[in-house]
Amino acid sequence: MYKIVRKEVLSPVIKLFEIEASHVSENAKPGQFVVLRTDEKGERIPLTIADFNREDGTVTIIIQEVGRSTKELGKLEEGDYVVDFVGPLGKATEIEKLGRVVCVGGGVGIAPVFPIARALKEAGNEVISVIGARTKELLFWEEKMADVSDQLYVCTDDGSYGHKGFVTDVIKQVAEDVEVEHVWAIGPMPMMKAVAATTKPLELKTTVSLNPIMLDGTGMCGACRVSVGGETKFACVDGPEFDAHEVDFELAARRLAYYQDDEHRVEAATNHSDGGACKCHEK
């Protein structure tokens, strides 16, 4: 059992949890993730380590509620427990002094890109960060990102805050204006695909963090297979970071959708049992 010591509601659907798990915080590095299960009947869901505190033995995760498991987690409060918390998993980001780098976080992808930006900054890089979301309500950690960046650009698809448009518009502009050594981009699959398509013609080295469906997170099952440069990789142990220009995004997106009908069934079941809160007929 792992205790939730702090909860912060960053938006109605985005929540932060700081959880006691010293076996994870002791060894955690930027780019890594955990697998969590809220209760005995729960799924094992992978979540990125957004921050960690070795002294307190805690790990911070930020979730966006998208389905049953993330919603169950979202309901938990300070002082509650989750039954399982495994990590740190995956390879850590390779942090080097490169010069000028761009860190891009889309939506809940802002969380995982934060520790990477911070480490890159600490390693002596000039860090330009770009964060974006569909709308203002889904943005968070603007200040924290600003603290670890030399420059921060903020954009929303609908223009409700910051620059109106996509992160790719900003990346293109930055790359035109100044010399950039490397781009890290983390966010929804379509965003990462768009970033890859933007930086490829510019021959700008780009790393993405893939989020395929995972089960064990230790290389045991192969659920997380992705195709990179024509080779099959297990994202949980060979990644989750890969060269954006080599990733087969189409396959990755299709694999993410395989259980959609089951996911809807599970959600419908919860909504019914919530008694009256059921929204499944309104859609």
Ligand X SMILES: Cc1cc2nc3c(=O)[nH]c(=O)nc-3n(C[C@H](O)[C@H](O)[C@H](O)COP(=O)(O)OP(=O)(O)OC[C@H]3O[C@@H](n4cnc5c(N)ncnc54)[C@H](O)[C@@H]3O)c2cc1C
Binding-site residues for [2Fe-2S] cluster, in ranges, read 221, 224, 236
Show binding-site residues for FAD.
62-64
Q: Which of residues 181-240 bind ligand X (CB under 6 A)?
A: 211-214, 240
Residue 146 makes contact with another protein by CB under 8 A:
no
**Closer residue to ligand X in complex, CB, 46/204:** 46
Radius of gyration of the CA atoms of the chain, in A: 18
Q: How far are the Cα atoms of 74, 181, 251 from residue 8, in angstroms, in the given order? A: 10, 35, 35
Show binding-site residues.
62-64, 221, 224, 236
What is the smallest separation between the CB atom of 237 and another protein, expressed in angstroms? 7
Residue 57 makes contact with Mg ion by CB under 5 A:
no
Identify which of 46, 10, 18, 186 has the alpha carbon closest to the alpha carbon of residue 112. Answer: 186
State the pairing for strand pair 182-186/100-106: parallel
Report the distance separating Cα 139 and Cα 159, nearest Å. Answer: 12
- Among the residue ranges 78-86, 172-180, 193-201, 254-262, the one whose residues contact ligand X (CB under 6 A): 254-262
- DSSP, residue by residue, 81-144: EESEEEEEESPPP-----SEEEEEEEGGGHHHHHHHHHHHHHTT-EEEEEEEESSGGG---HHH
**Closer residue to Mg ion in complex, CB, 146/213:** 213
Binder of another protein out of 31, 63, 68, 174 (CB under 8 A): 68
Q: Which residues are registered as beta bridge partners of 39?
A: none
Residue 259 makes contact with ligand FES by CB under 6 A:
no
For residue 147, the Cα-to-chain-centroid distance in whole angstroms is: 19
Which does residue 135 touch among Mg ion, ligand X, another protein, none (CB within 5 to 8 A, set by kind)?
none
Residue 67 makes contact with ligand X by CB under 6 A:
yes
Q: Which residues bind Mg ion (CB under 5 A)?
A: 67, 69
